[in-house]
A and B are shown apart, each in its own frame.
Chain A
Amino acid sequence: MSSTLLRTVPALRGAVRASGALKPASALASTSFVRSKATLPDLPYDYGALEPYISGKIMELHHKKHHQTYVNGLNSALDTIAEAESKGDFTKAASMAPLLNFHGGGHLNHSLFWENLAAASREGGGEPDGALKKAIDSDFGSFDNFRKQMNTALAGIQGSGWAWLVKDKTSGTLGLVTRANQDPVTGPYAPLMGIDAWEHAYYLQYENRKAEYFDAIWNVINWKTVASRFDKA
Chain B
Amino acid sequence: MVNISSLWQYLALQSPLQSMSGEQFNITKMGLTTYSLPQLPYAYDALEPHISAQIMQLHHSKHHQAYVTNLNKALESHVAAVAANDIASQIALQQAIKFNGGGHINHSLFWKNLAPAGSDETSLSAAKDLVTAIESTWGSFDNFKKTFSAILLSIQGSGWGWLVREGGQQGGLRIVTTKDQDPVVGGDIVIFGVDMWEHAYYLQYLNGKAAYVENIWNVINWKTAGERFLGTSSSDNMPEL
Contacts and interface: CB of A to CB of B under 8 A. Distances in A.
- The answer on A and B forming one complex is yes
Interface of A: 61, 65-66, 69, 98, 102, 158-161, 180-182, 198-200, 203-204, 207-208
Contact of A208 (B66, B95, B157, B158): B66
24 contacts: A61-B206, A66-B207, A69-B207, A158-B180, A158-B181, A159-B158, A159-B179, A159-B181, A160-B157, A160-B158, A160-B198, A181-B157, A182-B156, A198-B157, A198-B198, A199-B199, A200-B198, A200-B202, A200-B207, A203-B199, A203-B203, A204-B202, A204-B203, A207-B62
A-B CB proximity, top 10 nearest: A159-B180, A181-B157, A199-B198, A159-B158, A160-B157, A208-B62, A65-B207, A158-B99, A160-B158, A102-B156
B181 A182 contact: no
Contacts of A159: 157-159, 179-181, 197
B58 interface: yes
A65 B205 CA distance: 12
B63 A208 contact: yes
The range of chain B's interface size is: 20 to 34
Given A98-B156, A158-B99, A203-B203, 12 more contacts: A160-B157, A160-B198, A161-B157, A181-B156, A199-B158, A199-B198, A199-B199, A200-B207, A203-B202, A208-B62, A208-B66, A208-B199
Contacts, number: 53
Nearest to B65: A208
A161 B181 CA distance: 14
Q: Which of A61, A65, A181 has the most CB of B within 10 A?
A: A181
Interface in B19-78: 58, 62-63, 66
Nearest to B66: A208
A180 B179 CA distance: 10
Nearest to B61: A208
A26 to B, nearest CB: 44
Contacts of B62: 207-208
Contacts of B63: 208
